[in-house]
Amino acid sequence: MQAAYLNQLNDGFNSAGLKVLGVNINSPKILNQVRPWINKRKIGYDISVDPSGKLSDEFDVKGLPTLFMVDKNGIVINKTAGFVDGDESKYLEMVTQYLDSENIKYEEFNFEKESKVKKDAILQIDF
């Protein structure tokens, strides 16, 4: 779910200069599954792969997912670990507060809520 909201932020604030970058730190054995995952979810932002975990070590990542907000000068201005429903509002607030503080214009933005309900899902239970 987090990826869908990041995708919306990337699209909605692109004209204001926002750039979302995902980093996949899975083991080299499953790197071939990254592209299908991206395609299935229609992710529109760049995703880098870091199977050795060098970036997560460098940025002291303790849990996944971890979100960093980095300003235009490359300074980390926010670090958030984990994701629960509702965190997308915090992401939006962080982005708009930063853009406002820098007097960067942006268009009004609202998330399209992502549904966890799968259409045409079949659940079979065998007792």
Q: Minimal CA–CA distance to 92: which of 103, 106, 81?
A: 106
Contact 8, 44 (CB under 8 A): no
**CATH number of the domain bearing residue 75:** 3.40.30.10
Contact 13, 106 (CB under 8 A): yes
Q: Is residue 44 part of a domain?
A: yes
Per the structure, the complete domain to which residue 85 belongs is given by 2-101
Q: Minimal CA–CA distance to 10: which of 111, 114, 90?
A: 111
Q: Is residue 123 part of a domain?
A: no
Is 123 a residue whose pLDDT tops 70? no
pTM for this predicted structure: 0.80
Q: Is residue 106 part of a domain?
A: no
Q: Is residue 122 part of a domain?
A: no
- For the ranges 8-12, 16-20, 83-87, 122-126, which has the lowest average pLDDT? 122-126
- For the ranges 82-86, 97-101, 102-106, which has the lowest average pLDDT? 82-86
Element housing 6 (H / E): helix 2-12
Q: What percent of the chain has pLDDT over 70?
A: 91
Total domains in the fold of the chain: 1
